[in-house]
A and B are shown apart, each in its own frame.
Chain A
């Protein structure tokens, strides 16, 4: 997989009245690969949201550089092109919808590209279908649930034919059902349309679905690896304030009692492992 976004020795310090304000990010080196599903974990204040905002030129590094394909985010003339390729879904579903009808909202981006009406129509329909919101195209956004609003925001980005979508804690404010809908949407866009996903999250269950996980701590990258590699590292989890997904914690407790079980992360893996252990012990 080739590199889509590259962060090279990136540091970022927020402007502050206090001259000795600490850097929000320190010397970060990271590659986002084209087509991958990358999760970014870390406790509040670890720098993960700052990292997200650097990926599509909402922020520009204080030191180092961020390259999206061939474009430097510090180059003001490229900002427009960068944002067309890298879209962002924010945390609060009520802060990112501008129109009074769902399809008008999704059309907002393509209209600004100056496309002919027919093409806009096609893009809007296609985008709404890809997030499973086509049936709501004439609905008023304020009557939608949080999960539905976030999917409309995603459709607005898809309609721009974006290559990469960053979800900056986009499921933090919505209920479990909405969270599942948004997560399913992320996975489908990634799998079926090859869209690169960067998912900044507090939810371990979202991170275990990713191809790779980045753990941020105190403004620096503390670890990068597959979900299995990251969650198997107990010292890392403790140090960075992360928790084991519940299924993994359950399996770990059983293992600690002397029952051999493989390392598992998801509910499905845990059920499989426990079923096998039960059959092996002859209690089924």
Chain B
């Protein structure tokens, strides 16, 4: 059974006014336990509005969101539960650090869950270790951390709630290649070690190609594609027509095909590109 299911979700801003606009329209989506779903789309495509329904921060205008089969908007209690079971980490989360110490900031979520003190302590230390923040940083002010450390502290704050579904909105935005690798590795390791479901919203097609198991493409408030990462990037030309990016490897193989070179076009990483080209030349692809 899907851990999270979205049925016919529509969200209107300014409903029943002259300015009514649909941010999300008729979206159906099933998220299976343990998968890593990549969400792709322009700024303004509805991605952020969509994910804010997952933990009942927003209420649908139409349709519903089911967590383990139960409507998250059933009552106050179910909404509150959804906040803890679905951990949402916004874009540039480092701007939301506010406590006096890193420790207090990370403990904010678990404290809200009214957990016992020693359990909160365990979770803070586990989450900090997970994101690679040294114990010595916990008593510092979050504002004394470097940009990369702040980002990781903010993510640790969500992880410390130990949500079943971790939703990250652009966690690598603005980071350098090393910082990006570090965050992606951390997400992969988190999923492997906790068995959690992860939803990753990203502008970076290379990031999605590298870590996601399935992808959802949002365009003009609608879910226009869903499938395995391979299936989605195999429709690279449609993605380009929507003005979205595709991984560089995908672009290269689409262009080769257009020039009459008989290559496959469901390529989205450099390694797959190497194999596909070697196969074309009749060489054994590397193991």
B-contacting residues of A (Cβ < 8 Å)? 42-45, 91, 145-146, 169, 172-178, 202, 204-205, 241-243, 245-247, 249-250, 253-254, 257, 259, 267, 270-271, 274-275, 277-278, 281, 283-284
- Say whether B146 faces chain A, with CB atoms less than 8 Å apart: yes
Residues of A within 8 A of B243 (CB): 177
Q: By the criterion CB–CB under 8 Å, are A175 and B43 in contact?
A: yes
Tell me the count of chain B residues lying within 8 A, CB to CB, of chain A: 44
Tell which of A44, A146, A174, A277 has the most Cβ of chain B within 10 Å. A44
| A281 neighbours in B (Cβ, 8 Å) | 281
Q: Does B176 belong to the interface (CB within 8 Å)?
A: yes
In the complex, whether B255 has a CB less than 8 A from a CB of chain A is yes
Given A250-B248, A253-B271, A257-B278, residue A271 in contact with residue B256 (CB < 8 A): yes
A259-B177 CB under 8 A given contacts A177-B42, A271-B252? no
Check if B270 sits within 8 Å of A250, measured CB to CB. yes
Asked whether B277 is an interface residue with its Cβ less than 8 Å from the other chain, the reply is yes
What separation, in Å, do the CA atoms of A259 and B286 have in the docked complex? 13
Contact, CB under 8 Å: A254 / B43: no
Which of B5-13, B50-58, B257-265 lies at the interface with chain A? Answer: B257-265
The majority secondary structure among interface residues of chain B is: loop
B251 lies within 8 A of A267 (CB): yes
- Known contacts A146-B43, A259-B281, A283-B280; A172 and B274 CB within 8 A of each other: no
Q: Is there contact, CB below 8 Å, between B286 and A267?
A: no
Task: Indicate whether A274 sits within 8 Å of B277 (C-beta atoms), given known contacts A44-B176, A241-B176, A246-B247.
Answer: yes
CA distance A278 to B248 in the complex (A): 19
Interface residue B174 (Cβ < 8 Å from any Cβ of A): yes
Q: Would A249 and B148 count as touching, CB distance under 8 A?
A: no
Is B94 in contact with chain A by the CB < 8 A criterion? Answer: no
Q: Per-residue CB proximity of B127-151 to A under 8 Å, as 1/0?
A: 0000000000000000000111000
Residue numbers in B under 8 Å from A284 (CB-CB):
260-262
A245/B248 in contact, CB under 8 A: yes
Partner of B274, one of A202, A253, A271, A283: A253
Q: Which residue of chain A is the closest to B281 with respect to CB atoms?
A: A281
Q: A246 near B148 (CB under 8 angstroms)?
A: no
Given contacts A175-B42, A274-B256, A283-B282, contact A246 B177 (CB under 8 A): no
